[in-house]
Structure 1
Amino acid sequence: MRILFVDDDPDARVLAIRAVAQEFPNAGFREASDLVSLDQTLLEQAPDILVTDFDLRWTDGIAIFDRVKATNPFCCCVMFTGTGNEELAVRAIKHGFDDYVVKGAKQLRRLATAVRTAYDRGRELRELGENRDLVLKELYHRLHNNLQIVISLLRMTEKAIATQGDREQLADLGRRIQALSALQEEFYRSEDFRKVDFAAFLQRLAGSLTELKVGYVRLTSRLEAMVLPVDLAVPFGLIANEIFTNSLKHALPEGRSGGLSVALERLGDRAVLTVADDGDGVRGVDLFAATSGLGMRLIGRLTEQVGGEISFERGDTGAICRINVPL
């Protein structure tokens, strides 16, 4: 453990170190009295604990806090100063300091206790965060496995159904659950469970759907790197699944070969997904009405849920669908 003391007064640093050493006898203590010594210390190794004065000839304690936190965001920080008041104490705590101690010989024991309490509290919070991440990762993994079991059961049931229309509806349901499973896999692979690599998800989803298609499908993708929050990624991912499925089903029916183009880009504060095919497409001006089945109703509701916009048009050789959602 490394503890950094920043103060212009060498006597104040000695007294503070002596007091804190009673709580951390095995720690490594470093001192900084100017910008050069501070930068040299931070360059060698970021501290785990910072004790700093506020009123320094060359800067102030708030700036020291920012500089140290940039090297170690988990460093616990205590302000130990004699040139402050209640207003400064409130400002320091709001800025992120763990505690504020008024400088003085009788306050040295209070300083040591404040540093120990701040460090222990920070360590407990980090451990809780790490445990939470492990639990979430395991939950995502198990949910992904359970979804795979559901998909397998649906496929077994699909084979046992005699009616073609019923089999197709069950297969569509299986593909929707598969899309959710693919999103779950991106979740537990991510370092931050609140976000997902949406471009990677689209690439995997489009690839898996085209592989299931009877007949060769040439997949072209142009996906801008984009990380989305879970609340947006889930409905947007389900929309993408319905659009891909709709294009493959209506543009390339009965094993017909063709091409599917997928593009994802950021335009201002919106994400735009464009899906185009060069197959039979859906003829007529009102493409939305021509494909107003369950999948299209689901697209409409999910698009409304995320505040997005969707459009359909005839391309030179097929149909084009564009959907944009606010980021």
Structure 2
Amino acid sequence: MAVKILLIDDDRGDRAQLARQLGKSTLAAELTHATSVAAAITSMEAERPDCVLLDYQIPGIEELEGLDSLRALDKFLPIVLVTGYGDELLAARAINAGADDYIPKHELTPQTIEHAVNNAIEKASLRRSLAEHQHELESFAYMLSHDLRAPLNHIQTFSDMITEALEEKHYDDLADYAGFMSKAAANVNRLVRLLTDFLSHDTQQITLEALDLNLLVSDVKDIILLENPNAALTVETLPTVTSNDQLLRQLFQNVLGNAVKYNRGETPTISVSCISTGQQHEICVQDNGIGMSADELKDIFKPFVRLHGDGEFPGSGLGLAICAKNAARLGGNIRAESEAGVGSRFYINLPVA
């Protein structure tokens, strides 16, 4: 796939020189250009490039001001500064201002351009990954202080009540207090287990084998119908895939379980179908549940995202995040479409063996 490069330079000769050098490189590139940062931003709003090559001296802006404008639009955009100066101090200032790499124009060769573009894309990818991990850590800290605190407080409260009842020899309510403590402890255990699953997915070693999805989904269906006998769950013929049983089973358990859980109707109705192409199997899980708005839909695969309170729909906010991790580990992906009050469709894409 071609790397989309946007060159921002007002000098026609410099643009031609860079295009010639880029054409001689081994980089498969699709080059477009803009003569100003403003024009580049307008272009980027329609289609985001994979990398930007920015001339240091663009008329109408002060020195590194163009970097600030581009970073304001996309803080993860790979940017290479191209300049007629070979000043190392300027290079350091450019990097500090947000450039991912730096090329003096007198050093423009197929090799230096290719190296700078690849380096910028890799750095931007690392920045994005670090930002995502930082967000996960912040969400994790919030979960520890919020979701775990409530059941632990319940355990403490009922422990104190049991102690007080024993001291006063009031034994009638001890069984109830112990039951509440047991339920709170089970909630803590569930959250810890989910966290362990979520945090271990990136490093967990997996083995792949031929799996008949008809059998796997049938097993999951039986468990769900046992717990939810009013649900109606139909499954069309599914393919055999090369995958991991544990990760794939957990993925379908979470998606099908949510389809039943987030439903206010008397008969939750779920269908599972598949469309196969030469490249992938797309399994669709459709339900008639409560659905989601467009704003709610965009964040559902992020960890610790909860759209509803525990009162009506208890949960951890990790189920779909685990689904996304599982699908990625298996070489596929998961996406969703939904309409509030109508229902949702989850598409699980798996590679063809």
Q: Shorter-chain-normalised TM-score: which range?
A: 0.3 to 0.5
Looking at secondary structure, tell me which structure has more helix per residue: 1
Larger Rg: 1
TM-score scaled by length of structure 2: 0.41
TM-score scaled by length of structure 1: 0.44
